[in-house]
Structure formats: C-alpha cells, structure tokens
C-alpha cells in the first residue's frame, strides 16, 4: 500500500473505517473561499500586470479606452521608478532597525518574566502585552499626537531637564518614529510567544547548572536562549515578513507631516498608484513583484527553520 516509513500506524488503522466523502465536505468552504478570494485575485492581478490602457482617437466616450497587452512594460516602468526603489530601500532599513530592537526587547522581557527574584511579573506581562489589543491605526494616532510638539506631553518634561524636543518628522527621524510604533505594538506579542516556549523548557535543566554555581545570566545565555532558538527563528521570520508590509502606521501618520509622502513605503506606493493615479495596471505589476519577493523571502526563511518548526507535533 503506502510506504510504511512515511505513515504512522494510527493513520493506517483509520483509513480502513474512515469515510471518503466527509473530509471533502469539511474542506469545501475553505477551498471555495481560497479559490474565490485568493487564487482568483492573484491570477487577476497577474493578468492585469501585463495589460495597459490604450486611448484611441481623442480619448472621449466609453469605447475610447481599450485594454491591450502590454508585455513587461509595466514591470519595467516600476522597476526603473526612482520613487519605488527608494521606498524599497527605506522599507529594508526600517525592517533592519525594527526587527532586532523588537525581538531583542521581547526576548529580554521574556527572560525577565521567567527569571527568579524579579517582582511585578504579572503586572508587567499584562502591561507589555496590552498594545496587542490596540489596532495599529489607533496606535499610530496616539503616537502621532505624542510626536506633535503642540499636543505632545514630552516638551514640558524635556524643558525641565533643559532640553528641547527634536523634530520627530524630519526625513531620517521619521523612519525611527514609525519604527517606534512597530516596536511598541509588536514587542508584547512576541514576548508572550517566547515566554511560553521558555515555560516549556524542563526546569531540571536549570537545576544542575545552578548547583554548579552558574549565575542567572549564564543560565539565560547558555541554556534558555539556545533552548528557545526555534521560537526565536520563527518570530524573526514572521516579523521580517510583517515589517516589509508596513502600511497602516505611515499611512496614518501621513496627514500629520509632509515628510511621509504617498509613496513612502512600497505598499503605500501600490495604493497610491491604484487609487490616486488610477493606474491599476502599474499597481498590479508592483503588487506581483512585491508578492514574489515576499514569497521567496518567506519560503527560504521558513526552509531554514522548517525541520524544527513543522515536525514533531
């Protein structure tokens, strides 16, 4: 029948009595939704990315605009567009800043939650996880107001210390200001994931080290961090993917400053192209390129951690 090394005995036993139809009935809704709202749109975007609108005659009337095959011209246009390449560079820098800071803090807090002799752990765990319950748009609104010198609570505090608040929306600082919102919103969730996997490390592992006189820091560095390495890799992969798709935070902050242009980040550029410039074809080509990059990136990143992540349970 099937290769016995690949099939667990329980499966073989079940196939004898399992009905054939039931699994298909169960997965039908998901498959229908998947085809209608995922495969079809992707196919359609792919199709549109090779099309362009051609104006015939004077461009008046309903029939004046036709959709014609455009080859790779949409791709070429976008790839050579300076606004796009600079937004691409910007998002990479953004990710390189945000992910290590966020995961570093998440790991630090997770270790502190797991450490002995540290107080107020329950309160801190709740407080740090709380931003997860705040939508990114709302988080950006709140931080945006706190960045605005006129309503910010910081200038009076800084004035007491003899300092003035720097402009948080200058060309370079704006990236950090947006990254801060990402750190604020993402640290708690990752902290909980890491903390949970720390809790599953058997305590006996630490006992021996402690009896041998290892300090808490040594235990954390030499035992705990290596033990949760798979969880760290996984949170890292998902964080990189998520940060490269940043949209809500800069889009929300944009009304507060001119520094954040409508094409500041790649996904903002897609939106801008499709809905402000009415170039759905260019936007489709851009979407496809971003999708391919994302896919290659996540696939290769996941492959690295694959063996540990998807086996076992």
Partner 1 sequence: MALTRTAGAVTPAPAGARERGRRPARRRERTALLPTAILLLGAVYCLLPVVWVLTASTKDNAQLFNTFTFEPNGSLWSNVRSLSAYAGGVYWHWMANTALYAGGGALLSTVVSALTGFALAKYRFRGRSLLFNLLLAGVMVPPVVLALPQYLLMSKVGLVGSYWSVLLLSVLSPYGIYLARIYSMSAVPDEVIQAARVDGCPERKLITRIAVPMMVPGLVTVFLFQFVAVWNNFLLPFIMLSDENKFPLTVGLYTLLNRGSTAPALYSLVVTGSLLSIVPLVILFLVLQRYWRTDLAAGSVK
Region 57-116 residues binding partner 1, contact defined as CB under 8 A: 105, 108-109, 112-113, 115-116
Q: Which is nearer to partner 1, 97 or 128 (CB)?
A: 128
- Piece of the chain touching partner 1 by CB under 8 A; list 57-65, 96-104, 126-134, 163-171: 126-134
Out of 75, 245, 261, 262, the residue judged to bind partner 1 by CB under 8 A: 245
* 177 binds partner 1, rule: CB under 8 A: no
Check: CB of residue 305 under 8 Å from CB of residue 288: no
* 214 binds partner 1, rule: CB under 8 A: no
* 274 binds partner 1, rule: CB under 8 A: yes
The least CB distance from residue 250 to partner 1, in Å, is: 12
Mapping DSSP to helix (H, G, I), strand (E, B) and coil, where does residue 259 land?
coil
Check: CB of residue 175 under 8 Å from CB of residue 94: yes
Q: Which is nearer to partner 1, 179 or 284 (CB)?
A: 284
Q: Which is nearer to partner 1, 69 or 123 (CB)?
A: 123
Neighbours of 168 (CB within 10 A): 23
Out of 34, 100, 163, 208, the residue judged to bind partner 1 by CB under 8 A: 34
* 208 binds partner 1, rule: CB under 8 A: no
Q: Which is nearer to partner 1, 60 or 79 (CB)?
A: 79
Q: Which is nearer to partner 1, 11 or 76 (CB)?
A: 11
Q: Which is nearer to partner 1, 102 or 175 (CB)?
A: 102
Neighbours of 21 (CB within 10 A): 7
Q: Which is nearer to partner 1, 93 or 148 (CB)?
A: 148
Please give the structure tokens belonging to residue 4.
């016995």
Q: Find the binding residues for partner 1 in span 138-167 (CB under 8 A).
A: 138-139, 141-146, 150-153, 156
* 299 binds partner 1, rule: CB under 8 A: yes
Helices and strands, number each (H, E), in the chain? 16, 2
| Phi, psi (deg, nearest 5) at residue 54 | -115, 135
- Piece of the chain touching partner 1 by CB under 8 A; list 51-59, 75-83, 84-92, 228-236: 228-236
> 36, exposed or middle or buried, with CB in 10 Å at 0-12, 13-18, 19+?
exposed
- Piece of the chain touching partner 1 by CB under 8 A; list 55-63, 71-79, 169-177, 227-235: 227-235
The least CB distance from residue 40 to partner 1, in Å, is: 7
Please give the structure tokens belonging to residue 126.
């709740």
The least CB distance from residue 251 to partner 1, in Å, is: 8
Tell me the Cα Rg of the chain. 26
CA distance 185 to 166: 23
Element holding 67 (H helix, E strand): strand 65-69
Mapping DSSP to helix (H, G, I), strand (E, B) and coil, where does residue 53 land?
strand
Q: Which runs of consecutive H residues, i.e. helices, occur in 245-279? A: 248-253, 266-271
Could you give the count of Cα atoms lying within 13 Å of 247 in the half-sphere of its Cβ?
A: 10
């Amino acid at each position: 029948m099937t290769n016995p090394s690949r099939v667990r005995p329980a499966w073989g036993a079940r196939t004898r009595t399992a009905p054939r139809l039931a699994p298909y009935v169960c997965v039908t809704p998901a498959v229908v939704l998947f085809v209608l709202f995922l495969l079809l749109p992707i196919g359609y975007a792919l199709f549109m990315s090779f099309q362009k609108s051609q104006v015939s005659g004077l461009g008046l009337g309903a029939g004046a605009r036709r959709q014609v095959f455009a080859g790779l011209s949409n791709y070429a246009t976008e790839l050579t567009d300076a606004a796009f390449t600079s937004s691409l560079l910007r998002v990479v820098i953004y990710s390189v800043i945000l992910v290590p800071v966020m995961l570093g803090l998440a790991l630090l807090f997770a270790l502190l939650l797991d450490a002995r002799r540290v107080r107020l752990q329950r309160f801190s765990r709740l407080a740090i996880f709380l931003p997860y319950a705040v939508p990114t748009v709302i988080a950006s609104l709140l931080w945006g107001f706190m960045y605005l010198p006129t309503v910010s609570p910081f200038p009076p505090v800084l004035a007491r210390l003899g300092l003035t608040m720097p402009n948080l929306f200058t060309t370079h600082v704006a990236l950090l200001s947006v990254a801060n919102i990402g750190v604020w919103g993402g640290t708690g969730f990752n902290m909980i994931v890491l903390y949970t996997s720390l809790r599953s490390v058997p305590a006996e592992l630490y006992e021996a080290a402690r009896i041998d006189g290892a300090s808490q820091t040594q235990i954390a560095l030499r035992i705990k961090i290596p033990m949760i390495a798979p969880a760290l890799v996984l949170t890292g992969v998902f964080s990189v993917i998520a940060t490269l798709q940043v949209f809500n935070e800069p889009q929300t902050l944009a009304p507060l400053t001119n520094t954040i242009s409508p094409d500041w980040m790649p996904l903002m550029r897609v939106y801008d192209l499709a809905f402000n410039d009415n170039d759905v074809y260019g936007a489709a080509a851009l979407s496809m390129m971003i999708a391919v990059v994302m896919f290659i990136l996540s696939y290769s990143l996941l492959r690295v951690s694959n063996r540990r992540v998807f086996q076992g349970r």
